[in-house]
């Protein structure tokens, strides 16, 4: 039977721990017991962990044998960064969860012209919730670490260049939720380029990017890419774009 995997909040030498709500879930909800074994991801490796102590907000493990290859080798693969326009939270958070399961490295919620004003204002208060969602999704899918999830930013901050490093090894790709037959398919765009170290996928809100937003992307040198001949909902576009990028680059 496959052991459940947990992402350690603390790890030093041969010990690791879950703390706070993370520990409460294991201790109270799952009713963990001393001596139980789980796979523990420490950030550099996955090891078999045996519970040695349980308290109200802390579960400690003794780490044993390694489980699989060192995680440092995974870091050589291109990183997928998802910039996702803010839309209805239930569907947006579902996209966070599924893209985490696929292996996205970073998620950036973006406030756009078509983002609902009330949602854009409320988004800043959901950052902690979003961090929990991606951590739980990473554990469920047996990932080595959750993606970094940024606080919401405005589109001009994303396009302005301060989010990604400006070195030549970084590529950014605009993936649109609306079918645009004049643009090349996303997979073809990525495969035509030298293997990048990072790829950003920018997915617009329901209704797509406003014309002036598209013009700004193009002025900054973002490559426009189509996801096909059908119109996709924003959450579907995010998942499809992530999957296509991973297939093209890995």
Domain map (residue ranges) of the chain: 5-72, 77-249
- Phi then psi for 221, rounded to 5 degrees? 90, 15
Average pLDDT of span 2-13: 86
pLDDT digits (tens, 9 = 90+) for 144-169: 889 999 999 999 888 876 666 555 44
* Tokens matching residue 7: 């992402």
Cβ atoms within 10 Å of 180's Cβ, excluding its own = 17
Contact predicate 63/49, CB 8 Å: yes
Q: pTM to 2 decimals? A: 0.79
Pick the CATH number of 77-249 from 3.40.50.720, 3.30.470.20, 3.40.1280.10, 3.40.30.10: 3.40.1280.10
Determine which of 109-123, 161-175, 176-190, 195-209 has the lowest per-residue pLDDT on average: 161-175
Question: Mean pLDDT in the chain?
Answer: 84
Residue 224: name the closest of 243, 203, 205 by CA: 203
| Confidence (pLDDT) at 246 | 86
Average pLDDT of span 158-181: 59
36 has a pLDDT exceeding 60 = yes
The domain 5-72 having CATH identifier 2.60.120.380: the answer here is no
Q: Is 189 helix (H, G, I), strand (E, B) or coil?
A: helix
- Phi then psi for 100, rounded to 5 degrees? -65, -45
């Amino acid at each position: 039977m496959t052991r459940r995997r947990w992402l350690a909040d603390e790890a030093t030498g041969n010990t690791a721990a879950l703390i706070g709500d993370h520990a409460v879930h294991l201790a109270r909800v799952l009713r963990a017991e001393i001596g139980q074994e789980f796979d523990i991801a420490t950030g550099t490796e996955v090891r078999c962990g045996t519970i040695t102590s349980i308290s109200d907000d802390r579960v400690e493990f003794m780490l044993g044998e390694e489980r699989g290859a060192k995680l440092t080798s995974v870091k050589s693969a291109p990183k997928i960064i998802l910039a996702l326009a803010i839309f209805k939270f239930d569907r947006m958070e579902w996209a966070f969860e599924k893209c985490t399961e696929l292996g996205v490295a970073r998620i950036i919620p973006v406030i756009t012209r078509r983002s609902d004003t009330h949602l854009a204002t409320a988004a800043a208060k959901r950052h902690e919730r979003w961090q929990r969602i991606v951590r739980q999704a990473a554990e469920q899918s047996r990932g080595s670490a959750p993606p970094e999830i940024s606080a919401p930013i405005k589109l001009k901050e994303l396009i302005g260049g301060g989010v990604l490093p400006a070195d030549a090894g970084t590529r950014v790709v605009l993936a649109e939720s609306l079918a645009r037959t004049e643009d090349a398919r996303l997979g073809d765009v990525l495969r035509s380029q030298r293997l990048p170290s990072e790829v950003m996928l920018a997915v617009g809100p329901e209704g797509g990017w406003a014309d002036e937003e598209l013009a700004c992307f193009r002025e900054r040198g973002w490559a426009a890419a189509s996801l096909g001949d059908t119109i996709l909902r924003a959450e579907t576009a995010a998942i499809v774009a992530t999957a296509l990028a991973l297939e093209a680059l890995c």
